[in-house]
């Protein structure tokens, strides 16, 4: 797809209205102009400059799904997905910022008290404040109910002790949504990064999303007012984290579609110009097979994401398994596409001069975050037995 308009038309396919097509075109234009040119530099430096985050905030992209009454864009799920796909096409690290920031904003809008919403949502909408979800721990990954970080009540304060790990943008986030274990069970607490006792350490050398400022977060006797409790005690995973992760896997699915699109664009451009055995490699049948598989995976994954988005907007009970199916399909397809893109580029794909090396690492991360591939397989098998169990 050679132009922003071509991409918007391809996304339409008769399934989206003019507003969605126009929004996608705007997102694509921004990504082409402001994100793609710096993505490799961000990846190599393992750093997101503050001015890049500020620009996303100024343009309203970080606040796009936040209700308009709090200064956000109030967009629907499909529009948010289209933004995630375009950011994923340009830079998966910035897409991950969108994901974690909107996860926290989403649970605040849904489960926060009026005072919490009025305090935090306008700041999240403007990008003045960056938020991150502090759930994973060194010994706790997929089983979120097993968190070891502790929270205790001490008069009018909550006191937290623990260690969180793999916290995306945790090194720079102003607000952390911490899931800790209290007397009633897993409990969600809002913690400002500026609080005494909060320490972060940047994690470098990751396989993908290397500019995502992922961090170890240590909570050493951190005290916050009791009104920083989000939702009810004991419902930190089933209510708060579950709601956040559902939105997270949805945006990761769309971000994976963006990676496939980037792999397609890079592979088509390379195959058009690279010659071997006296002809452009686009004429070699096995290269064409790799590209056709990417093309099929792109459209299949995008359609599943669109289905998940429409179901979210309709509040369809099937939106949860639809998001899981979209995330599973798109993330595994992104790994295949990135691996094949490296293959199309040959030895050049193994070096840093071409972006496909970055796509491969980023795609692999998509299979791990917001529920591993295997976790989704278990859940999807349950849905399959339920849906098709009556057939003999």
Q: What is the tens place of the pLDDT at every residue in 198-229?
A: 999 999 999 999 999 999 999 999 999 999 99
C-alpha separations of 100 from 40, 50, 184, 215 in Å: 21, 16, 26, 13
Q: Which CATH number fits domain 4-126: 1.10.540.10, 3.20.20.110, 3.30.1300.10, 3.40.50.2000?
A: 1.10.540.10
| Residues comprising the chain, all counted | 392
Over residues 333-343, the pLDDT tens digits come to 999 999 999 99
Domain positions in the chain are 4-126, 131-233, 237-388
pLDDT band at 375; cut points 50, 70, 90: confident
**Three-class DSSP labels, 57-81:** HHCCCCCCCCCHHHCCCCCCHHHHH
Task: Give SS3 for 353.
Answer: coil
Judge whether 4-126 and 237-388 match in fold.
no
Active site residue 69: no
User: The whole model's pTM is what?
Assistant: 0.93
Q: In this structure, which topology does domain 131-233 adopt according to CATH?
A: Butyryl-CoA Dehydrogenase, subunit A; domain 2 (2.40.110)
Which of 86, 137, 367, 370 is catalytic? The answer is 370
* Dist. CA 231–CA 331, nearest whole Å: 31
Residue 277 burial (10 A CB sphere; 0-12, 13-18, 19+): exposed
At the second CATH level, the architecture of 237-388 is Up-down Bundle (1.20)
In contact, 36 and 98? CB cutoff 8 Å: no
Residue 6: the pLDDT is 60
């Amino acid at each position: 797809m050679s132009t922003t308009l071509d991409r918007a038309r391809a996304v339409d396919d008769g399934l989206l209205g003019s507003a969605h097509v126009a929004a996608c075109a705007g997102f694509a234009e921004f990504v082409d102009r402001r994100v793609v040119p710096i993505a490799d530099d961000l990846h190599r430096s393992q750093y997101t400059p503050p001015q890049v985050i500020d620009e996303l905030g100024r343009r309203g992209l970080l606040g796009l799904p936040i209700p308009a009454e709090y200064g956000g864009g109030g967009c629907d799920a499909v529009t948010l997905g289209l933004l995630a796909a375009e950011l994923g096409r340009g830079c998966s690290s910035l897409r991950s910022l969108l994901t974690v920031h909107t996860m926290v904003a989403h649970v605040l809008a849904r489960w926060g008290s009026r005072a919490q919403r009025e305090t935090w949502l306008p700041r999240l909408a403007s990008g003045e404040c960056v938020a991150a979800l502090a759930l994973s721990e060194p010994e706790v990954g997929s089983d979120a109910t097993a968190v070891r970080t502790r929270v205790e009540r001490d008069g009018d304060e909550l006191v937290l002790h623990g260690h969180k790990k793999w916290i995306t943008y945790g090194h720079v986030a102003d607000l952390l949504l911490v899931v800790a274990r209290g007397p009633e069970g897993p409990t969600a607490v809002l913690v400002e990064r500026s609080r005494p006792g909060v320490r972060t350490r940047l994690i470098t050398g990751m396989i993908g999303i290397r500019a995502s400022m992922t961090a170890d977060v240590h909570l050493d006797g951190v005290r916050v007012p009791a009104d920083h409790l989000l939702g009810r005690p004991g419902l930190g995973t089933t209510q708060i984290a579950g709601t956040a992760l559902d939105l997270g896997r949805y945006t990761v699915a769309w971000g994976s579609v963006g990676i496939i699109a980037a792999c397609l664009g890079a592979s088509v451009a390379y195959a058009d110009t690279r010659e071997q055995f006296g002809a452009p490699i686009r004429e070699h049948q096995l290269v064409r097979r790799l590209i056709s598989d990417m093309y099929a995976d792109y459209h299949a994954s995008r359609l599943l994401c669109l289905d998940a988005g429409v179901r979210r907007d309709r509040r369809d009970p099937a939106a949860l398994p639809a998001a899981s199916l979209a995330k599973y399909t798109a993330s595994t397809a992104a790994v295949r596409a990135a691996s094949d893109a490296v293959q199309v580029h040959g030895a050049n794909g193994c070096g840093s001069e071409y972006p496909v090396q970055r796509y491969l690492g980023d795609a692999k991360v998509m299979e791990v975050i917001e529920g591993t591939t295997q976790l989704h397989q278990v859940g999807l098998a349950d849905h399959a037995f339920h849906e098709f169990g009556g057939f003999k």
